[in-house]
Amino acid sequence: MKMKMLAVTAMVFGVNAFGNQHYEKDVESIKKMTGCYEVTFQNAETFSLTPEYKYHDRFKAGPALEWIFVDSQKEGLISLQHLLIAGPHIIKHWRQEWSHQNTSLYHYEGDKVWTPKELSSEKVDGMWTQKVYQVDDSPRYECSAPWIRYSGKNYWECETNAPLPRREFSKRSDYNILKRTNKHELVSNGHIHDQDNIKVVRKNGVSRPLVMEKGLNTYKLVSESRCQKAKDWWKQHKGYWFNVRQVWDEVYGRKDTMKFRSKVEGKTLWKRLFDLDEQFSKASNDNSGKIRKEVKSVIEDFMY
């Protein structure tokens, strides 16, 4: 009976009965989220947690085309970049980085503040941290959990704090933290990003939940040829964004609390870095040194 229980536990948490991680199967699961997709984004507030709360309208966008690809990979680390195809335009969308048995995370405290958090190696045994970055590769949210394969299911699920989503951050100020439960599940025709969220007000160290929200982003696989424009665009722009990531890696490597201003001289951080992308992507020669110097200067302008 004891061995049977060990076997079931191993199957659920991605390890065998002797403690060896199913690393290759986890890597395969992560990389199965790549491809050309029709994506639909949906969100709806469900249950009020304060008597006076007034529900906001449901949100739906799409279907839109999105190309997801392995931007870089090495042992224990996989980066997936998203590019959104909006008519004739290509938009560098969010990026997710998967880190195996990672012990260093950043926790979102609200109001554009992230604090470093260290986990013990025992706590993250067999786990993967999904680090989600904004369109400019600045921080968004991070969380560690195991990939689960059980009873025909293949998914990863974790709960963490995050900033307001882009669909609301410029429209609302009645809450400052989105407590997210993110579930990424592989399905027959692609994958889904299932969310159970709570909108929270945090002030002076006290948190007050406002309302619960359900989110569902569906990624339906389509022909790779439909994302060719995104592939062509990336060839011209990937050099610049590689340098941007190098600068950010230095910032994250400090393991200091990160605080960001919303705007500097009337512009957001993403707009400043996207403007530099347009400037440097047109240059034919290698400007890595100059790019990193200017990107570092911009990022430092926004940090305090």
List, for residues 48-84, the tens digit of each pLDDT value: 999 999 999 999 999 999 999 999 999 999 999 999 9
Give me the pLDDT at residue 284, please.
60
Distances from the Cα of 28 to the Cαs of 23, 24, 131, 249, 259, in angstroms? Answer: 9, 6, 18, 25, 35
CA proximity to 243, closest of 271, 283, 277: 277
Distances from the Cα of 160 to the Cαs of 167, 181, 197, 199, 276, in angstroms? Answer: 19, 7, 10, 12, 32
How many percent of the chain have pLDDT more than 90?
88
How is residue 282 annotated by DSSP? T
Q: Does the pLDDT of residue 16 top 90, yes or no? A: no
pLDDT tens-digit map of 238-261: 999 999 999 999 999 999 999 999
Specify the pTM: 0.90
Coil, strand or helix: which one is 62?
strand
DSSP letters along 137-152, please?
A: S-EEEEEEE-EEEETT
pLDDT tens-digit map of 77-135: 999 999 999 989 999 999 999 999 999 999 999 999 999 999 999 999 999 999 999 99
Give me the pLDDT at residue 281, please.
84
Average pLDDT taken over every residue of the chain = 92
Which range has the worst mean pLDDT, 156-160, 234-238, 280-284? 280-284
With a CB cutoff of 8 Å and minimum separation 6, the contacts of 9 are none
Distance, CA of 268 to CA of 134 (rounded, Å): 12
CA proximity to 137, closest of 168, 93, 182: 93
DSSP letters along 218-234, please?
A: EEEE--GGGGHHHHHHH
Give me the pLDDT at residue 169, please.
87
Residue with structure tokens 């997210």? 180
Q: Which CATH number, 1.10.3470, 2.60.40, 2.40.128, 1.20.1440, labels domain 22-222?
A: 2.40.128
Q: How confident is the model at residue 21 (pLDDT cuts 50, 70, 90)?
A: low
Q: Does the pLDDT of residue 140 top 90, yes or no? A: yes
- Do 242 and 280 contact (CB within 8 A), yes or no? no
